[in-house]
Amino acid sequence: MSKPKATSVKAYATSGATAPLAASTIPRREPTDRDVQIEILYCGVCHSDLHFARNEWGFTQYPAVPGHEIVGRVTQVGPKVTKFKPGDLAGVGCLVDADLSCPHCRKGLEQFSPTMVMTYGSMDKHLGLPTYGGYSERIVVDEHFTLRIPANLNLAAVAPLLCAGITTYSPLRHWKVGPGQKVGIVGLGGLGHMGVKFARAFGAHVVVFTTSAGKREDALRLGAHEVVVSRNADEMKAHAGTFNFILDCVSADHDLNAYLELLAPDGNLTLVGAPEKPLPIASFALIFGRRSLSGSLIGGLAETQEMLDFCGQHNITSDIEMIRMDQVNEAYERMLRSDVKYRFVIDMASLKQDGLQSA
Amino acid sequence: MSKPKATSVKAYATSGATAPLAASTIPRREPTDRDVQIEILYCGVCHSDLHFARNEWGFTQYPAVPGHEIVGRVTQVGPKVTKFKPGDLAGVGCLVDADLSCPHCRKGLEQFSPTMVMTYGSMDKHLGLPTYGGYSERIVVDEHFTLRIPANLNLAAVAPLLCAGITTYSPLRHWKVGPGQKVGIVGLGGLGHMGVKFARAFGAHVVVFTTSAGKREDALRLGAHEVVVSRNADEMKAHAGTFNFILDCVSADHDLNAYLELLAPDGNLTLVGAPEKPLPIASFALIFGRRSLSGSLIGGLAETQEMLDFCGQHNITSDIEMIRMDQVNEAYERMLRSDVKYRFVIDMASLKQDGLQSA
């Protein structure tokens, strides 16, 4: 494999854990045989972007460019690309490469492949350089990791589906959520609001758990049948032993045992938020009722495409607040205060405009 | 339902949390329409017996008679009993009654029924008295909760199958352990040694985790293919991400995250031991690999019968040390020191002999 040429593209980068994001440039490879080059139109702002920008996971190399909820338009394709042509809409999520031959890849679980390359914070095997995310004008991605976008949806509101969407869709599908089931969604944020929409679309009876009674109306509007204020022990107790599935979208510390007690026999609680500290789990809460506690990490490429197609058929997108590129630092602060309904999406046209501050 | 007559039978009971077990008498009902009366020949000694005798779960009423690994011979049956006749072998495990009409019962999961009656520590609905366990000469049980015993097995060594056997068999079946799978058994005691035998019989590659290198030979003899000394971090690391299923049989505090890291994607770790304190679980250990942590509680009656039949076909029993009734207090102390290979079984003939000390 000969090394492809790199070209310089505009991006918004951070130079250190405490530095703000600012205008910069990064190298992108020219498309190789199976690559799709995409002009990025919108990029969602995920909480992972903030963790990564601030090196809260400890592996960030600087300069760093976050962003893994990417939608745009194809501008060029390599000679062996079959799924895309210039002018097509395209999306990119959290993954941009993997071997595609290991047992995990062959099962469609590229996210668990030992050779999995993340959209940012990994290594681009073509250039031998770090991968840079979607806060940029252009990205080049192997077509296997490039998603088709339904034409009928609001494109900006599609962007968060590439991470928040698949992160909630995948466990609801894996645990076979459907009609006749009672499903809980814990936390009504970027992930949770998508979980509500999907669980409702799958035909389940949907209950939202929130710490804030003020979110009741919005939860119902998004599709919940019931809303439980989790600080109210009596409200919680009334649901003991009745849930088939609970999707926990909360990253802050919270008492999981209170939710495990709400599961019916053989019920499952899946974590998609990732609290930093270990969670104390009472063994009896699992033993009585053969309950289970799981985690889930985004989804494979085939399932991500299935999710996007499902969204096209059911007219599902994220509820978003559009921002300009130079508002992203403020958006991070607002995200930390849960002050967003429910996902910031960057209008990447704003990156090309004059007047953006350089790093 | 008219109240049946009660008759007095010999038993070994404790009068308080710190009192030793001693000879006593308890009331047993005369068989009702669907009841089977069993002369108890052997009764296994489960760690739950000790928890219950010493009121470590907080719900013990005294006098208390433990014992839920019961085998014996049918001496009388009610007029509507179809499965048993006098002279048959019969077994009783942890459950003696339930409604049989709720959704859990109808799924064969009587252990999760809200009306489930335990062999000891519950209430006998016929007499309106506490239920008393198998440390006694006779028991009377609804035939739905009475198990058939394969004739080809050593009867004393069958007794522990009624709790330790089904407790390990059920999760191994539920999680579909079989050929081509790598299965871990954590802790080689009363539960663990049965887990090894079943996992091996199901065709899995079996790895025993033990804190004590001295158990290596025995683990291999019982059917393990490999033994890992869990205190050895390098030995543990060599197995990272490779297990399809781990059955955790340890009741003492221990680090579950170290075992979760050994699971392959979609792997499950099921707890059948019940550590008292909450277990700190790292959410990332579950999220990466979509791993799950579950509990399991004995098994339903149909599955318990299936397990006993399987044991008959594959010549599987517990490794036991036979004791006399009056050795049970000493046996509890030895059980606390894990000084038993691998289950004490009481020869109930010794209860009928003279010279036993009365309470």
Phi and psi at residue B39, to the nearest 5°: -80, 120
Q: Looking at the complex, does the CB of residue A295 fall below 8 Å from at least one CB of chain B?
A: yes
Interface of A with B in 235-274 (CB under 8 A): 257, 265, 268, 271-274
C-alpha–C-alpha distance, residues A140 and B23, integer Å: 81
Task: Give the pLDDT band of residue A274 (cuts 50, 70, 90).
Answer: confident
Of A109, A285, A294, Cβ closest to residue B292 = A294
Same-domain status, B113 and B251: no
pLDDT above 80 (res A139): yes
Q: Looking at the complex, does the CB of residue B297 fall below 8 Å from at least one CB of chain A?
A: yes
C-alpha–C-alpha distance, residues B124 and B146, integer Å: 16
Q: Parallel, antiparallel, or unpaired for β A226-229 and A95-97?
A: unpaired
Q: Which of A332, A329, A348 is nearest to A340 (CA)?
A: A332
Q: Looking at the complex, does the CB of residue A106 fall below 8 Å from at least one CB of chain B?
A: no
C-alpha–C-alpha distance, residues A154 and A94, integer Å: 21
Q: Which of A169, A280, A192 is nearest to A184 (CA)?
A: A192
The whole-angstrom distance between B257's CA and the closest CA on chain A is 9
Give the pLDDT of residue B359.
44
pLDDT above 70 (res B1): no
Of B278, B287, B294, Cβ closest to residue A297 = B287
C-alpha–C-alpha distance, residues A14 and A36, integer Å: 26
Give the pLDDT of residue B276.
81
pLDDT above 80 (res B358): no
Whether B183 contacts B268, CB under 8 Å: no
Of A257, A268, A290, Cβ closest to residue B297 = A290
C-alpha–C-alpha distance, residues B237 and B219, integer Å: 20
- Closest residue in chain B to residue A274, using alpha carbons only: B283
Q: Which of A57, A103, A245, A256 is nearest to B266 (CA)?
A: A103
Lowest mean pLDDT among A118-122, A211-215, B118-122, B342-346: A211-215
CB-based burial label for A87 (10 Å; 0-12, 13-18, 19+) = exposed
Q: Which residues pair with A245 in a beta bridge?
A: A183, A268
> Would you report the helix, strand and coil content of chain A in percent, each value rounded to 5?
30, 30, 40
The whole-angstrom distance between A296's CA and the closest CA on chain B is 5
Q: Looking at the complex, does the CB of residue A216 fall below 8 Å from at least one CB of chain B?
A: no
Report how many helices (DSSP H) and strands (DSSP E) chain A contains, helices first: 12, 20
Q: Is residue A300 part of a domain?
A: no
Using alpha carbons, list the distances in angstroms from residue A262 to A72, B194, B315.
42, 32, 41
pLDDT above 50 (res A148): yes
Q: Is residue B301 part of a domain?
A: no
Give the pLDDT of residue A359.
44
pLDDT above 70 (res A133): yes
Q: Is B337 helix (H, G, I), strand (E, B) or coil?
A: coil
Same-domain status, A282 and A214: yes
Q: Is residue A306 part of a domain?
A: no
First-to-last C-alpha distance (Å) of chain A = 34
How large is the average pLDDT for residues A236-256? 95
Give the pLDDT of residue A355.
52
Same-domain status, A159 and A170: no
Q: Which of B28, B45, B128, B143 is nearest to B85 (CA)?
A: B143
Contacts of B335 (CB under 8 A, 6+ apart): B45, B47, B50, B344
Phi and psi at residue B325, to the nearest 5°: -55, -40
User: A282–B278: do the CB atoms touch at under 8 Å?
Assistant: yes
Between B356 and B236, residue with greater pLDDT:
B236
Same-domain status, B153 and B59: yes
Phi and psi at residue B166, to the nearest 5°: -70, -30
pLDDT above 80 (res A353): no
Q: What is the mean pLDDT of chain B?
A: 95
Residues of A whose CB is below 8 A from B281:
278-281, 293
C-alpha–C-alpha distance, residues A232 and B37, integer Å: 49
Same-domain status, A212 and A269: yes
Q: Which of B166, B201, B225, B206 is nearest to B316 (CA)?
A: B201
C-alpha–C-alpha distance, residues A279 and B280, integer Å: 5
How large is the average pLDDT for residues B256-278? 94
Give the pLDDT of residue A159.
98
Q: Is residue B67 part of a domain?
A: yes
Instruction: Determine which helix (DSSP H) or strand (DSSP E) holds A95, and give its type and residue range.
Output: strand A95-97
Q: Looking at the complex, does the CB of residue A275 fall below 8 Å from at least one CB of chain B?
A: yes
Same-domain status, A30 and A121: yes
Extract the tokens encoding A16.
């250190």
C-alpha–C-alpha distance, residues A89 and A82, integer Å: 14
Largest CA distance in chain B: 65
Cβ–Cβ contacts within 10 Å for residue A320, how many? Answer: 22
Same-domain status, A153 and A185: no
Q: Is residue B157 part of a domain?
A: yes
Q: Is residue A199 part of a domain?
A: yes
C-alpha–C-alpha distance, residues A61 and A17, integer Å: 10
Same-domain status, B159 and B178: no
Same-domain status, A49 and A158: yes
Contacts of A38 (CB under 8 A, 6+ apart): A70, A72, A73, A74, A75, A90, A92, A138, A139, A140, A141, A146
Contacts of B18 (CB under 8 A, 6+ apart): B54
Contacts of B123 (CB under 8 A, 6+ apart): B117, B129, B130, B131
The identity of residue A289, as a single letter, is G
Residues of B whose CB is below 8 A from A299:
none
Sign of CA dihedral B252, B253, B258, B262: positive
C-alpha–C-alpha distance, residues A97 and B48, integer Å: 51
The identity of residue B234, as a single letter, is D
C-alpha–C-alpha distance, residues A220 and A35, integer Å: 42
Same-domain status, B102 and B131: yes
Q: What is the pTM of this model?
A: 0.94
Sign of CA dihedral B352, B353, B358, B359: negative
Q: Looking at the complex, does the CB of residue B284 fall below 8 Å from at least one CB of chain A?
A: yes
First-to-last C-alpha distance (Å) of chain B = 34
Residue with tokens 């366990």: B133
Interface size between A and B, measured as CB pairs under 8 A = 110
- Reported as a single tens digit per residue, the pLDDT across B7-55 is 999 999 999 999 999 999 999 999 999 999 999 999 999 999 999 999 9
Q: Is residue A170 part of a domain?
A: yes
Residues of B whose CB is below 8 A from A295:
283-292
Q: Which of B36, B38, B12 is nearest to B26 (CA)?
A: B12
Extract the tokens encoding A172.
């609801």
User: What is the count of structural domains for chain A?
Assistant: 2
Read off the CATH number of the domain in which A17 is found.
3.90.180.10
Domain hosting residue A169, numbered range? 165-295
- Reported as a single tens digit per residue, the pLDDT across A179-220 is 999 999 999 999 999 999 999 999 999 999 999 889 999 999
How large is the average pLDDT for residues A146-173? 98
Q: Looking at the complex, does the CB of residue B275 fall below 8 Å from at least one CB of chain A?
A: yes
How large is the average pLDDT for residues B181-204? 97
User: A295–B281: do the CB atoms touch at under 8 Å?
Assistant: no
Task: Give the pLDDT band of residue B354 (cuts 50, 70, 90).
Answer: low
How large is the average pLDDT for residues A264-284? 93
Largest CA distance in chain A: 65
pLDDT above 80 (res B150): yes
C-alpha–C-alpha distance, residues A329 and A22, integer Å: 9
| CB half-sphere exposure, B287, CA atoms < 13 A | 19
The identity of residue A42, as a single letter, is Y
How large is the average pLDDT for residues B188-194? 97
- Reported as a single tens digit per residue, the pLDDT across B79-135 is 999 999 999 999 999 999 999 999 999 999 999 999 999 999 999 999 999 999 999
pLDDT above 80 (res B357): no
User: A265–B112: do the CB atoms touch at under 8 Å?
Assistant: yes
How large is the average pLDDT for residues B195-224? 96
C-alpha–C-alpha distance, residues B222 and B342, integer Å: 11
Read off the CATH number of the domain in which A273 is found.
3.40.50.720
Q: Is residue A261 part of a domain?
A: yes
C-alpha–C-alpha distance, residues B186 and B269, integer Å: 10
Same-domain status, A139 and A16: yes
pLDDT above 90 (res A259): yes
User: B295–A280: do the CB atoms touch at under 8 Å?
Assistant: no
Same-domain status, A159 and A185: no
Lowest mean pLDDT among A163-167, B254-258, B325-329: B254-258
Give the pLDDT of residue B355.
52
